[in-house]
Structure 1
Amino acid sequence: MLDILYEDKDILVVVKPAGVESQTSRRLEPDMVSEIKNYLHRKVQETKKLSTGLSPKASTAPVDPYVGIIHRLDKPVRGVMVYAKNLKAAAHLSRQVQEGKLEKIYQALVCGKPVDNVGKYVDYLLKDGKTNTSRIVDKSVAGAKRAELEYQILEKKEQEDGTVRSLVEIHLHTGRHHQIRVQFAAHGTPLMGDTKYGAPAAASVGRARREPLALCAVRLSFLHPVTGKRMEFSTKPQFVL
């Protein structure tokens, strides 16, 4: 059931659904790595069957396909992801992440309107592993990591209850834990459906209506690990203003 945007012998670009872990999950829930491995295994078996005209022998032990995790999306976030199909591709793509050559663009619905139509947030985040949350702290705090993003407002709309929602596009420069959710909440415009960092009103609306987190990784751009060609893939968010 994978939504595959592109595939070759080195990489696989897919759209991760909301509610699915982007890496292997210890719980009995679907995750992208397992889904991709199952897909690749089925593909190998089908290829063998076509080449021989016979079903693969049941005694043949399946080879576990390699799936390299290059970047991650939070479980409730939908969006474009790239996975490596071999070690060389994984190393090359991981280097792009470190050098800022893998570009990620998100869209989100936020409560209210950011002060500026086009702006930048630079904060320092500290992750709490016990609660699986992050918060903004002073840069002098031990363990604090710099978090930077740029945004622009694409559209804003007043709702029937008098509140305002804004559709924003976000260029993420760093990939910190829950970064977009934490920064927008701290700057007074929490994401719709965010029951962890949202304002009480937004969180209660999200619970009552069971609204998903209004955040989507809409575009991903990187250099192909073998050809060096710049590649860009996109998807549309499923939320509406």
Structure 2
Amino acid sequence: MKVPILYEDNHLLLVEKPVNIPVQSDKSGDQDLLSHLKNDIKIRFQKPGNVYLGLVHRLDRPVGGAMVFAKTSKAASRLSDQVRRNSMERQYYAVVHGRPAKKAGQLVDYLWKNTQKNIVSIVPKSHKEGKKALLNYQVLETQGELSLLAVQLETGRPHQIRVQLAGMGTPIWGDQKYGARYSKAGQQIALWARSLSLEHPVKKDAVRVDSQPPQSFPWDIWSKI
């Protein structure tokens, strides 16, 4: 597994997550990013014993792009607080089928996760297990039946971007779960974590990293990337 390091110091590790790799170990038994990074730190810095690396947020298994991990428990606590306060800015590219009715807007939905089936659904506000989900989007470019969107998360619900964009009638290209009617087997979902901005948990200065999607279809058809 090759994992590009975007930024690293004694407190933080920001990397570019490869596609189709689980962030942490799951029932598939496949190699996961967290274990790989711990082992990499152990080797690079010749650390004895167990290596601490805190998981602050997640990306869905098929999604690639910028992620941050905490190298100390203090950093993990402070970064988790930034996620809770929505002060960590997470921006994404998404290639979707169709064209949103508005060039830019905010989507507000209530989401419920069926943990047995690992499927998230949009539910009424009155649903007792529904959780509020907000995201902002902007149409950057349109070509034929596809549109390139810039997406910024306001909340971090499971499968949020995929479910909300599909709910708007513009499912993400290659999404086998929430856009199966449009997608073909083997297509790689066109959702990418393009940037991550946060306050350094110790130094307090601004940290931002950027990550570019691969130069293959449908990413290579846009002048904005």
TM-score for the superposition, normalised by structure 1: 0.87
Distance 2:26 2:163 in 1: 24
177, 180, 194: which is aligned to 1:218? 194
1:115 equivalent in structure 2? 101
Q: Which residue of structure 1 lines up, in the alignment, with residue 133 of structure 2?
A: 147
Stretches of structure 2 lacking an aligned partner (at least 5 in a row): none
Give the secondary-structure state (helix, strand or coil) at the position aligned to 1:240: helix
Identity value in percent? 43
TM superposition shift of 1:29: 1.2
In 2, Cα distance between the equivalents of 1:25 and 1:195? Answer: 20
What RMSD, in angstroms, separates the aligned Cα atoms of the two structures? 1.2
- CA distances 1:196-224 after superposition (whole Å, capped 9, x unpaired): 11051x12xx31xx220000000000000
Encode CA deviations 1:90-141: one digit per residue, 9 max, x unaligned. 0010000001111100000000001101111101001100110111111111
Counterpart secondary structure, 1:41: helix
Query: How high is the TM-score relative to the length of structure 2?
Result: 0.93
Number of residue equivalences: 216
- Verify: 1:80 aligned to 2:66, yes or no: yes
Which one-letter code corresponds to 1:63 in the other structure? G
> 1:54-203 counterparts in 2 under 5 A?
62-158=48-144, 164-200=145-181, 202-203=182-183
For the residues of structure 2 that align with 1:187 and 1:193, how far apart are their CA atoms?
16
Inter-partner Cα distance in structure 2 for 1:40 and 1:5: 15
**Equivalent residue for 1:54?**
none
- The whole-number CA distance in structure 2 between the counterparts of 1:92 and 1:66 is 15
Is the 1:185–1:199 contact (alpha carbons within 8 Å) kept by the matching residues of 2? no
In structure 1, distance between residues paired with 2:205 and 2:15:
18
Residues 3, 18 of structure 2: 8 Å contact kept: no
Deviations 1:152-203 (A, max 9, x none): 0111001xxxxx1000000110111101111111111100001111051x12
**2:66–2:196 Cα contact (<8 Å) kept:** yes
- Select the structure that is richer in helix: 1
The ranges of structure 1 where at least 4 consecutive aligned residues each deviate by more than 6 angstroms after the TM superposition are: none
Q: Which amino acid aligns with 1:215?
A: L
CA deviations over 1:20-63 (Å, ceiling 9, x no partner): 11123343312111111111110132xx8xxxxxxxxxxxxx41
